Amino acid sequence: MSIIPKNNEEKKQKVVCTLNDLEKRKVVEHNALIQSVAKMQKTALKMFELAVSCIDTEEPPKNNTVYLSKSELFKFFEVSSSSKHSQFKEAVNYMQKQAFFNIKADKKLGIEYESIAPIPYVKWNDYNDEVTIRFDQAIMPYLIDLKAEFTQYKISELKELNSKYSIILYRWLSMNYNQYEHYSNKGGRRAEQVEAYQNPSITVKELRAITDTVNEYKHISNFFKRIIEEPLEEINAHTSFNVNYEKIKKGRSIDSIVFHIEKKRMADDNSYKLGDKYYQDDKKQKSRNEADLLKQAMESKYTRLLLDNMLLSPYEMTDTSLMAGLQAHVYPLYDELKALRGLNGVKDHLSYVASKQEAYSKRNIAKYLKKAIEQYLPTVKLQDLEQPERAKVRGKGAFKNDQRAGG
């Protein structure tokens, strides 16, 4: 974060955020806030996001207060010089009196609803460049000390978005893509769940709710134009995402939308994370974990069985991510089968899987193998419950067809 010390006395206490290092500044918000209803216009929402990007997540701001540069604010909003002061005052007035989030959060006792005006206090003057912004205490749990269910993205991604709907849709897409990246790297979700994060769906009703358009754009064609098509045009042109969508019908009506998110290849894609201690520690831990998993996979008897059945090639064994993925997500399931039917049961299963494999499944062999064993294990367990005497006798995987088996 680029900072301007105001003087030596204040240097320890106050820093003013500028846009000089905008690419390295990030917004971190709880997913409940991302999915809330933002009752505010574009400028107020952008001001809130910009202020959030000034929060140091490792050292929360004293008195929930951050300091922005007025001239940099004007640059971020790209307001005209002739009306910049009046537009700024109008945005501040709106922020303090009309802007709020309607937040719905799952709690232990049920769903909890909150209505929070996020920035009740803004101070500026005509004789210097500083703007003081103080967050309401009620919004802070959604912005600091977030250990799970949060989203982060570069604040620079929002700079060129000129519609409230573009900002809201971008935040929602980022929330899903963040989870796609997380679970792709760390595991913990089934393959189809991970794919759903990259191809998230939302009902028309839900999208109307988070964009606050329940009573607007009643004609569906107008709704799609203003809430989806125009925002996606901006998002695809000015952010790191390439997104397209498809309409899902229920009967004759459009019920939901599925978005397909791709990340543009950028040399500095993670620059905003480089100063994040938790990101760096997590990156090192992932690297160590992957190296350990690779070593275990190369020594595993299951790797030899896959080679013997031509389900894995020597060339594929050079793919670190593939081998680590097999060790983490597939081989433990083979251990379960081995405990039920012995090593011969695993051999018979893999022989059967190889005989049913189609060419298309070779593009994602880990997914194919995982899906096959996930579908076979319940059958084995059920057989052993119904006919205990058959336990450790049968070994062949009998899933209904190759489409269900994986690939």
pLDDT tens digit sequence for 140-177? 999 998 888 899 999 999 999 999 999 999 999 999 99
pLDDT of residue 401: 37
pLDDT tens digits, 347-361: 999 999 888 877 655
Indicate whether 247 and 299 sit together in one domain: no
Q: Terminus-to-terminus CA distance in the chain, angstroms?
A: 45
pLDDT score recorded for residue 325: 87
* C-beta separation of 28 from 143 below 8 A: yes
Please tell me the predicted confidence (pLDDT) of residue 403.
36
| Sign of torsion over alpha carbons 268, 273, 274, 275 | positive
Instruction: Give the pLDDT band of residue 281 (cuts 50, 70, 90).
Output: low
The domain in which residue 46 lies consists of 1-156
Residue at a domain's end among 102, 132, 156: 156
Question: Does residue 236 sit within a domain?
Answer: yes
3-state DSSP percent of the chain in helix, strand and coil, to 5: 55, 15, 30
Q: Does the pLDDT value for residue 259 go beyond 70?
A: yes
Does 381 fall in a domain?
Answer: yes
Q: Give the lowest-confidence range in 5-14, 65-74, 112-121, 160-169.
A: 5-14
Q: Based on the fold, state whether residues 31 and 4 are members of the same structural domain.
A: yes
Both 224 and 313 in one domain: the answer is no
Average pLDDT over residues 330-351: 93
pLDDT digits (tens, 9 = 90+) for 297-329: 999 999 999 998 889 888 888 888 888 889 989
Mean pLDDT, rounded, for 186-190 = 80
Residue 66 and residue 44: Cα distance in Å, rounded?
16
Cβ count within 10 A of residue 63 = 10
Number of domains in the chain: 3
Per the DSSP assignment, residues forming a β-bridge with 246 are: 258
Higher model confidence: residue 169 or residue 188? 169
- What pLDDT score does 282 carry? 57
What integer pLDDT is reported at residue 245 of this predicted model?
A: 96
Regarding whether 337 and 218 lie in a shared domain, the answer is no
Please identify, among 113, 131, 156, the residue that sits at the C-terminal boundary of a domain. Answer: 156
For 382, half-sphere exposure in the C-beta direction (CA atoms, 13 angstrom radius) is 6
Residues 232 and 285 in one domain: no
Answer yes or no: do 20 and 131 share one domain: yes
**Counts for the chain of helices (H) and strands (E), in that order:** 15, 13
In a domain, 272, yes or no: no
Query: Is 274 within the bounds of a domain?
Result: no
Average pLDDT over residues 108-117: 87
Burial 258-270 (b: 16+ CB within 10 A, else e): ebebeeeeeeeee
Pair (5, 109) in one structural domain: yes
Q: What is the mean pLDDT of the chain?
A: 83
Q: The tokens 């299963």 sit on which residue?
A: 349
Please check whether residue 237 lies inside any domain of the structure: yes
User: In the prediction, which pLDDT does 397 show?
Assistant: 43
Residue 4 has pLDDT above 50, yes or no: no
Choosing from 242, 267, 292, the residue where a domain stops is 267
**Looking at residue 95, what is its pLDDT?**
79
Q: Are residues 321 and 233 in the same domain?
A: no
Query: Same structural domain for residues 198 and 117?
Result: no
pTM of this structure = 0.64
Residue 10: per-residue pLDDT: 45
By mean pLDDT, which of 103-107, 178-182, 201-205, 397-401 is the weakest? 397-401
Instruction: Name which residue leads in pLDDT, 284 or 3.
Output: 284
- 148 and 237 inside one domain: no
Tell me what pLDDT residue 19 has.
66
Inside any domain, residue 206: yes
The CATH number of the domain where 57 resides is what?
A: 1.10.10.10
pLDDT score at 236: 96
Pair (25, 57) in one structural domain: yes
Q: Which of 304, 168, 166 is nearest to 231 (CA)?
A: 166
19-33, 218-232, 255-269, 272-286: which is most confident? 218-232
**pLDDT average, residue stretch 202-217:** 95
Q: Residue 273 domain-assigned?
A: no
Task: Assess whether 35 and 145 both reside in one domain.
Answer: yes
Please report whether residue 41 resides in a domain: yes
**Residue 278 to residue 313: CA distance in whole angstroms:** 37
Burial of 275 (0-12, 13-18, 19+ CB in 10 A): middle
pLDDT grade for 222, boundaries at 50, 70 and 90: very high
For residue 124, give the nearest of 88, 83, 77 by alpha carbon.
Answer: 88
Report the share of the chain in percent with pLDDT over 70. 82
